[in-house]
Amino acid sequence: MMRVHRVPQMHRALAALVICLAFGASVFAQADQLSNVKGLVDQARAAFDQLDYENTIKSLDSAIGAIEARPTPEAKPLLPQAYDMRARALFGLGKDNDGRADFISLARVEPGYVLPGQVSPKILAVWDEVLKANVTELRLTILPADAEVLLDGARVPANGTLPIAVGDHTLSVSRIGYRQVTQPFTAAAGAATVVDSLVLERTATVFRFVTAPAGVEVVIDGISHGRTSPGPPPPEYAEKATRAGVPVAELSAVLTVTDLPIGAHRIEFRKDCYVRAEARPTVDRLDDFVLDPVKLEPAVASVSVTSNQPGTLVLIDGLQRGVAPMTINDVCEGPHVIELKSQSGRYFQRVDARTGAKITIAGTLRPAFALVSASGPAALNTDLRLTIEKQFQSLQSVTLFAPAADETAKALSAEKLPADWLAFDSNKRALGASAEVAAVMRGDLSQRLSRQFDAQGIASVTVPSAASRNRLVVSLLAAGSSDPDVIELDLDSPDATSLAVDRLDRGLSFFRPSLGMTAVDVADMEGPVIVAVDPNGPMAKAGIQPGDVLLKANSQPVPDSAVLINLLAGRKADEALTLDLKDRAGAAKKADTTVYMTPRLIGLNDQSLMVNKILVDLRNRLQAQADPVTDSVIRLNLAVALARVGNWSEARLELQRVKLNDGPGVGAGTVHYLLGLAAERTGSLAEAEAAWRAAAGTTALETEDGLPVKDLAEARLQGLQRRPSQH
Amino acid sequence: MKQPSPVLVAVALLLTTIGVATQSNEDLPRRQYESGLAFLKGQRYAEAMKDFQAIIDSFPKSQAADNALLQIALYQIDIAKDLGAAQAAVDQLLKIYPDTDSAPMGYVVGGRIAMAKGRSAADVDAAVASFERVERLFPGNDAVPAAGYYAGEALRLVRRHEDALVRYRRVTAAYPSSPWAARANLAAGYCLAQADRATAALPEVQRVRQMMPASAEAEAALNINSILYRLHVRAPKGSAYAFSGRFIGDERANFNDVIGVRVDPLNRVLLGHNKGIAVFDQKGALASSVAAQDPSAFFSDEVNRIVFVGKGALHTEQVSSMPITTPPTEPNRPPKVVDEMPSVVMTSTGQRLIVNKKAKTVIRYDAAGRYIGPFTTAINTERLAINVLDDVAMIDKDAKAVTILDRAGTPLSKIITKGANYQLDEPVDVAFDRLGYLYVLDRGKKSVFVFGPRNRLITSFTIDEKSPGAFTRARALGVDAAGRLYIFDEKAKRIGVYQ
């Protein structure tokens, strides 16, 4: 018998091994295993129903072998019925000992198993016998009742009676706030094992929090204990939520915090953009504390933004929020940087948003220089760029801003530039690595870096001397410029900063009123003497001649040219003026004339101009609609500014778009002269010559108070003649 | 709480101490420097130099040391006219403090010294090179426009007017709001006038009054344009001058034994007579007088003291007199005292050019009356005039002409007795204005002839004998900064003002 009993067992073991190996080698995972096991069990059941016990056993050998080899949670529940079925099949084939062995296995796997369906008395007797010998009872009474009770690792109720297999077991009881108890015991056959009045020892308080919304940081006595995660919480919180007036759907999951000592505590509930909440519970005993759901109210302000330019992007703390005009209703309480940005400028405003506040920002975009580098022996841990940003915050015409340090470091690193690549002293001498950067390269870099930081230009700050660390030099480069403007600041002297701000804010005007004549002051004369008259101007038409002395204008005495200039300063085009004069012979004469506006032009060589600032300013102005004459005069000034920073090709393009009339002062002759210079610089000598010849035939001036372009153009033409022949 | 590291505390204390020490180390020299500047302003030069030297000796590493050296160099070249001392100060400045704020101006002063030493092509090149170095080495420094201006000056002083004009215009174009631009405008006016482009000079000079209306340069511009206006706008269609109706001095004053009339750089009218030198202010009121017995000629020096010659000596107001002698012509003989000195002028380097009437020579002396050498010989003259280039005009009594020599005594040109549109009859006095126009007072013709570049007659001026202000027996002539004429007439015994 023994052999008979063993052989099938060996077969079953071998089959199980084969299946196990096959399964083990398979790339299929548990799902496949479960599916196969289920299939085998189903096959076994079909065979069993047809009383085909041989095939039933064959299928179940394979199924049980597979489950025992890999007792997954999904497969394990199939094991009792598999043992049951195989036992009955074995009984059916008369293999009672093998059937009995399967019943023993079944009782040990599931002590509470109840044989289903019709069972023969014989088998039932065997089963009862097996139960008697292998199964007994465990009676549990554990406090607290909600403690987690694990019997051999499987969860069981904390109170009641349950069947267990005879033999060694481990009971583990735990609950948050209590000391865990682990208790091994041996269950003997025929007698119940009783675990009665097992009371866990309380060791800590337990707080449970639920918030609305989720994501709230719970800070107890200044120490963060985590954030609530999205809910829902257990159903028992529904009532609490109703009481707190919070929709259940908004509630978070429960956040449990233990180990709070006896005493008073301060619990803060924090979440960005929400008003903080606070609770101050006092723990007088070790216990569980469950707070009602904590609802945080939103803490936001509304910000309405308008801009002086259409299509302006609005950013808050660097995040794009839309296009102005717009209102943003969810700006969190706290400090923010509101930024407006367009192709021609920027506007910054730092705001401290208070809950419920309505903030209005009317941004005037100004051309901006991004402070990309700082160099020199600065004080430790000082970002000089931020110092400069602060020093120049009162600027009205341009903005200097310091992008994030990591961004500038990344940008300079990408260009392989050291911090002192744009370092100059107050004498405009290149310092350090700056001396190695060629003008052309500087122009390219200013273009690229400006674009990278969405600015109209870039800037740097340098401390030229360790002996005076509070003396800083700021270098400005408009996009595409190779020739920087330098401004010195003395942090110990607010006056120096004011002067620098004034210098940068110095405005440009593009026209000035004129009468079309030149008057000079002469000692012992009672009014300015007219020494030249524009032959096509209003004075000539009114009969004024060189040598006449101007005495009054609109009955106001004009004792000298300064008074005349002041008198004209506030006049508009075509405004009438009645002049009282006397001629060379001393005879009185009167003349009615009108004021006209004459273009103004910055000096091509004027070193006192902050030409990079002017350049970004002029580019900005061109964005606005202007009449054709104003547009031309702005372009003419822009061309000169471009020429000043070495960008002659762009200057030439702008000059070609300028349309001014011939005449004295700044006019078509001025444009011709400058076009000649641009053509010469860009290698077109023939064009330069033609332009200068055109200029030499005019009465135009280099600037409104400058030299006649005739003289300048003729000098240039002579210079061309002196050049060696190109042939 | 974390306690700060003892090392950090020590470093912080050390830094604080150094800061305090540095502050006090700078404080004293700074105050001494300001003291020196105050003395300079008050023309107390010895005290000023003491302060500056003390800074250099005691605080050579202070921030005021380089400034002090620069001030010494400027004093030596502008006031003391000691080119050697000025050069030494500049050399020290550029050697010890080559990177300081004063260094660029040191190069400028170096260039000026080169020009003061001589006006050869090499001197000019050296000076211009020194000026150009400033822009090259210190491109954004405030001294750059100064260097540009002085580069123009170097060229102007050697009569390269067009080249000078280019330099001046670079300054006015590049630094239009700088005081140096104003000076460049004025100097450009001079160049244009010398280039016979007076009408172009007028607006150029007027620009100074627009750009810097309250400045000394604006006042100078008014004066220059007044000259240009009279000579080039009012004349030739009308008379350049008219009697102003004013006389110098008291209404009833009659001046006797007059030896000459001069207008000094402060625009004071100096009247020399046999009892001394009377000094009148710009309005014609007597301001002061210097007593002297029979002075023969006079001028005011670099610090506006009255200097006169007479009885074989050079007398400087409040300074002991120095005998004027010439070296003996034979060995072992004493120097010969020059006892007839009808005219004296001062050059830009402080030399005194004195006419030795008996010897018919003009002799150079230094400021202390020490003999330097002859300026020119074989000329019978009693009247000298000198212009800003140190050109000296002298009336040749024998030839009834005016001879013009350069600063080395080399003849430059001559205004002959009879020229285009004029004839000299009895020239008795000469004067230059600040634009270099030469005014010749002709007693015989009862006229003033004004000569411009290349000795071209610009205009002449006379007043009908019966009209107020007529000068029928004119003796002496002065021209002020605005080109007003001050003519002493022996018949009227008064100095009339013509404008």
Residues A560 and A625 in one domain: no
Answer whether A523 sits within 8 Å of B222, measured CB to CB. yes
Alpha-carbon distance values, A688 to A221, A636, A652, B375 (Å): 80, 17, 11, 53
Q: Is B420 within a domain? A: yes
Residues A562 and A466 in one domain: no
Answer whether A522 sits within 8 Å of B499, measured CB to CB. no
Tell me the residue range of the domain where B123 lies: 28-234
A295, A319, A334: which is the final residue of a domain? A295
The DSSP output letter for B77 is H
Q: Are B299 and B312 spatial neighbours (Cβ–Cβ below 8 Å)?
A: no
Residues A479 and A525 in one domain: no
Residues B314 and B461 in one domain: yes
Residues B323 and B197 in one domain: no
Amino acid at position A348, single letter: F
Residues B193 and B297 in one domain: no
Answer whether B203 sits within 8 Å of A584, measured CB to CB. no
Q: Is B230 within a domain? A: yes
Q: Tokens in use for B259?
A: 């030896």
Residues B258 and B386 in one domain: yes
B172, B207, B234: which is the final residue of a domain? B234
Best of A462, A524, A677 to disrupt the B interface (most B CBs within 10 Å) is A524
B178, B211, B234: which is the final residue of a domain? B234
Residues of chain A with Cβ-Cβ distance to B173 below 8 Å are 603-606, 702, 706-707
Kindly report the number of other CB atoms within 10 A of residue A661's CB atom: 10
Long-range contacts of A427-432 (CB under 8 A, 24+ apart): A427/B104, A427/B138, A427/B139, A427/B140, A427/B141, A428/A484, A428/A486, A428/B139, A428/B140, A429/B137, A429/B138, A429/B139, A429/B140, A431/A375, A431/A376, A431/A462, A431/A464, A432/A375
Residues B252 and B202 in one domain: no
Answer whether A531 sits within 8 Å of B203, measured CB to CB. yes
What is the CATH classification number for the domain harbouring A357?
Answer: 2.60.40.10
CA distance B18 to chain A (A): 12
Residues A385 and A491 in one domain: yes
Residues A275 and A341 in one domain: no
Q: Is B80 within a domain? A: yes
Q: Is B11 within a domain? A: no
Residue A16: what pLDDT? 46
**Closest partner residue to B210 among A565, A607, A707, by Cβ?**
A565
Q: Are A476 and A369 spatial neighbours (Cβ–Cβ below 8 Å)?
A: yes
Q: Is B459 within a domain? A: yes
CA distance A232 to chain B (A): 43
Tell me the residue range of the domain where A289 lies: 206-295
Residue B302: what pLDDT? 85
Residues B216 and B333 in one domain: no
Q: Are A704 and A601 spatial neighbours (Cβ–Cβ below 8 Å)?
A: yes
Pairing between strand A167-174 and A148-151? antiparallel
Best of B66, B97, B207, B222 to disrupt the A interface (most A CBs within 10 Å) is B222
Residue A378: what pLDDT? 73
CA distance B182 to B215: 9
Residues A273 and A333 in one domain: no
B171 class by beta-carbon count within 10 Å (0-12 exposed, 13-18 middle, 19+ buried): buried
**Closest partner residue to B225 among A426, A520, A585, by Cβ?**
A520
A473, A505, A537: which is the final residue of a domain? A505
Residues B286 and B223 in one domain: no
Q: How many residues does the structure list for chain B?
A: 499
Answer whether B138 sits within 8 Å of A561, measured CB to CB. no
Residues A314 and A417 in one domain: no
Can you say how many angstroms the Cα of residue A685 is from the centroid of all Cα atoms in its chain? 52
Residues B219 and B324 in one domain: no
**Closest partner residue to B238 among A584, A608, A702, by Cβ?**
A584
CA distance B423 to B400: 10
Residue A239: what pLDDT? 87
Q: Are A152 and A169 spatial neighbours (Cβ–Cβ below 8 Å)?
A: yes
Residues A382 and A495 in one domain: yes
Residues A275 and A378 in one domain: no
Pairing between strand A288-290 and A206-209? parallel
Enumerate chain A positions whose Cβ falls within 8 A of a Cβ in B: 424-429, 486, 518-525, 529, 531-532, 546-547, 560-562, 565, 584-585, 603-608, 702, 705-707
| B227 backbone dihedrals φ, ψ, rounded to 5° | -65, -50
Residue A8: what pLDDT? 42
Q: Is A11 within a domain? A: yes
CA distance B177 to chain A (A): 8
Answer whether B210 sits within 8 Å of A522, measured CB to CB. no
CA distance B353 to B373: 10
This prediction has a pTM of 0.73
Q: Is A183 within a domain? A: no
Tally of structural domains, chain A: 6
Best of B134, B229, B485 to disrupt the A interface (most A CBs within 10 Å) is B229
* For B100, nearest residue in chain A (alpha carbons): A427
Q: Is B295 within a domain? A: yes
Q: Is A116 within a domain? A: no
Residue A380: what pLDDT? 66
Pairing between strand A282-283 and A263-264? antiparallel
Q: Is A132 within a domain? A: no
Q: Is B187 within a domain? A: yes
What is the CATH classification number for the domain harbouring A105?
Answer: 1.25.40
Q: Is A549 within a domain? A: yes
The verdict on B210 touching A (C-beta cutoff 8 Å) is yes
Residues of chain A with Cβ-Cβ distance to B482 below 8 Å are 523-524
Residues B256 and B224 in one domain: no
CA distance A518 to chain B (A): 7
CA distance A590 to A582: 8
Residues B194 and B76 in one domain: yes
Residues A394 and A470 in one domain: yes
Answer whether B174 sits within 8 Å of A524, measured CB to CB. no
Residue B332: what pLDDT? 87
**Torsion-angle region of A547 (φ positive above 0: left; ψ -120 to 50: alpha; else: beta):** left
What is the CATH classification number for the domain harbouring A470?
Answer: 3.40.50
**What ipTM score was computed for the predicted complex, to two decimals?**
0.89
Answer whether B210 sits within 8 Å of A562, measured CB to CB. yes
Q: Are A179 and A201 spatial neighbours (Cβ–Cβ below 8 Å)?
A: yes
Average pLDDT for consecutive 10-residue bins of chain B (499 residues)? 43 42 70 95 94 95 94 94 94 94 94 90 91 92 95 96 94 92 96 94 94 93 97 92 94 91 96 96 94 95 92 88 91 90 94 95 91 95 96 96 96 95 96 97 97 95 93 96 97 95
**Closest partner residue to B499 among A518, A524, A562, by Cβ?**
A524
What is the CATH classification number for the domain harbouring B265?
Answer: 2.120.10.30
A562-582 b/e (C-beta count within 10 Å ≥ 16 → b): bbbbebbeebeeeeebebbbb
Q: Is B7 within a domain? A: no
Residues of chain A with Cβ-Cβ distance to B229 below 8 Å are 520, 522, 525, 529, 531
What is the CATH classification number for the domain harbouring A712?
Answer: 1.25.40.10
Q: Is A131 within a domain? A: no
A262, A295, A328: which is the final residue of a domain? A295
Residues A673 and A557 in one domain: no
CA distance A608 to chain B (A): 6
Pairing between strand A294-295 and A211-212? parallel
* For A530, nearest residue in chain B (alpha carbons): B233
Interface of B with A in 235-264 (CB under 8 A): 237-238, 244
Residues of chain A with Cβ-Cβ distance to B170 below 8 Å are 605
Which of these, B78, B35, B77, lies nearest to B53 by C-alpha position?
Answer: B35
What stretches in chain A show pLDDT beneath 70? 1-31, 379-380, 725-727
Tally of structural domains, chain B: 2
Residues B213 and B161 in one domain: yes
Which of these, B306, B284, B310, lies nearest to B297 by C-alpha position?
Answer: B310
Answer whether A522 sits within 8 Å of B225, measured CB to CB. yes
The strand order across the sheet containing B371-376 reads B344-346, B352-356, B361-365, B371-376
What is the CATH classification number for the domain harbouring B120?
Answer: 1.25.40.10
Which of these, A286, A280, A294, A279, lies nearest to A237 by C-alpha position?
Answer: A294
Answer whether A585 sits within 8 Å of B238, measured CB to CB. yes
Tell me the count of A-B CB pairs closer than 8 A: 100
Residues A700 and A608 in one domain: yes
Residues B122 and B251 in one domain: no
Residue A29: what pLDDT? 56
CA distance B176 to B195: 23
Q: How many residues does the structure list for chain A?
A: 727
**Closest partner residue to B206 among A547, A561, A702, by Cβ?**
A561
CA distance B403 to B379: 9
The verdict on B446 touching A (C-beta cutoff 8 Å) is no
Q: Is A519 within a domain? A: yes
CA distance A576 to chain B (A): 24
B215, B234, B253: which is the final residue of a domain? B234
Q: Is A173 within a domain? A: no
**Closest partner residue to A603 among B138, B176, B206, by Cβ?**
B176
